[in-house]
Amino acid sequence: MANPWFETVAVAQERAKKRIPKSVYGALIAGAEAGLSMRDNVSAFDEIGFRPVTAGQAAERQMDVTIMGQPASIPVMISPTGVQAVHPHGEVAVARAAANRGIPVGLSSFASKPIEEVSEANDNLSFQIYWAGDRDSMLARIGRAKAAGAKGLILTLDWSFSHGRDWGSPAIPQSFSVKELAPHALDVIARPRWAWSWVKAGQIPRLRVPNFVTGDDTPPLFFEAYGTWMGTPPPTWDDVAWLRSQWDGPFMVKGVVRADEARRAVDAGASAISVSNHGGNNVDGAPASIRVLPEIAAAVGDDVEVLLDGGVRRGSDVVKALALGADAVLIGRAYLWGLAANGQAGVENVLDILRGGIDATMRGIGVDKVGDLSAADVIVPDGFSPPPA
């Protein structure tokens, strides 16, 4: 039997591609329109260099931080991602892996597992909510999250509802009826190990989103909940301030790419912001998160916790983000590929890769505490961060 361990996130991605159905993999790598922002999220990191030192490095590195009021063994948080049908244990497996590595978790409103199950697996959890439905329904969702033990609330606003993709959008069945599944039969048959993992677990991939409801209501199907989200008028900054007033813990606004809006988020009461273009699913052509991070961190870094989300694939990427002003990063696709490749152990593998990369990079540049990282440790090309709008 092949060794399930992988050495880099890129290898995890290749294994995930070979293991899961084509349509499921397509959903993981989807970006808006031509995928410009999605690709730039990754490639922008390649433009940043380091300034290594030759001697005098400390024997050990200090990498632990606090994120959203919770301890983290490294400056990394699990970003909330929707229906994790790459593996039968989905969000619960991710939460257990993160707990084993001392990492906080963000849980999506569109998760396939109830928040109560995920919180039991990792109580270092923040609940993510979209501005979807009326205020009463949103209050009910965050009330349920609070009752389940969620420590923080993440309001995600970085999505443009663009549907056109040059390579085609992944075909996702609305239900598991024979009619819905028939077009996907060959796709699933081609990945027998993935299909058998669901059979062994006594489950079928869920397309219902249990965290959209409270009480005994039947969870809506994915596209029903998605339709509610799409049909809800976008929030104003006054709406953001109202939602913040309903939550007494850490509160993140996710999706900031402009310094002026970072300031608006702070003024609305946010205790954290995530510099993010939703993994390339905002307006295509939006800058890579790392490109605008320095400008935003300079504007509000003294007033709010600044996280970066988008394109992180290596521990060295984490170090670059912290050197340019982030307090921590969120990871999404990286851990999903680990989950698809090898379940809970695969997620732990990804987190170990990031830890090792952070440690090795800090050693190479002679920095022994993550809080001491600065722009002096990296080489950034001219014009990397665009001027304020």
Classify residue 363 as exposed, middle or buried by CB count within 10 Å of its CB (0-12, 13-18, 19+): middle
Half-sphere exposure of 161 (CA within 13 A, CB side): 11
From residue 241, give the alpha-carbon distance in Å to each of 41, 125, 268, 275, 317.
29, 22, 4, 19, 32
278 is catalytic: yes
Neighbours of 100 (CB within 10 A): 15
Helix axes 315-323, 36-46, angle to 10 degrees: 80
Q: Among 320, 305, 355, which Cα is nearest to 334's?
A: 355
**Cα angle vertex 33, ends 30, 38, to 5°?**
50
Round to whole Å and give the CA distance between 127 and 143: 11
pLDDT value of position 25:
83
Contact 65, 328 (CB under 8 A): yes
Which token pair is 129? 């909510």
Global confidence as pTM? 0.92
Q: Write the DSSP assignment of 21-49 as a string of letters.
A: -HHHHHHHH--SBT-HHHHHHHHHHHT-E
Catalytic-role residue among 87, 163, 184, 278: 278
Contact 277, 311 (CB under 8 A): no
Q: Write the DSSP assignment of 247-305 as a string of letters.
A: --S-EEEEEE-SHHHHHHHHHTT-SEEEEE-GGGTSSTTPPPHHHHHHHHHHHHTTTSE
Strands annotated E in the chain: 49-50, 65-67, 70-72, 76-78, 105-107, 125-130, 152-156, 251-256, 272-276, 305-309, 328-331, 378-379
Tens place of pLDDT for every residue, the chain, 389 residues? 568 999 999 999 999 999 888 878 877 888 888 889 999 999 999 999 999 999 999 999 999 999 999 999 999 999 999 888 788 899 999 999 999 999 999 999 999 999 999 999 999 999 999 999 999 999 999 999 999 999 999 999 987 767 677 766 666 655 555 565 556 666 766 777 777 676 677 776 557 889 998 777 888 888 889 889 989 999 999 999 999 999 999 999 999 999 999 999 999 999 999 999 998 888 899 999 999 999 999 999 999 999 999 999 999 999 999 999 999 999 999 999 999 999 999 999 999 999 999 999 999 999 999 999 999 999 999 877 654 44
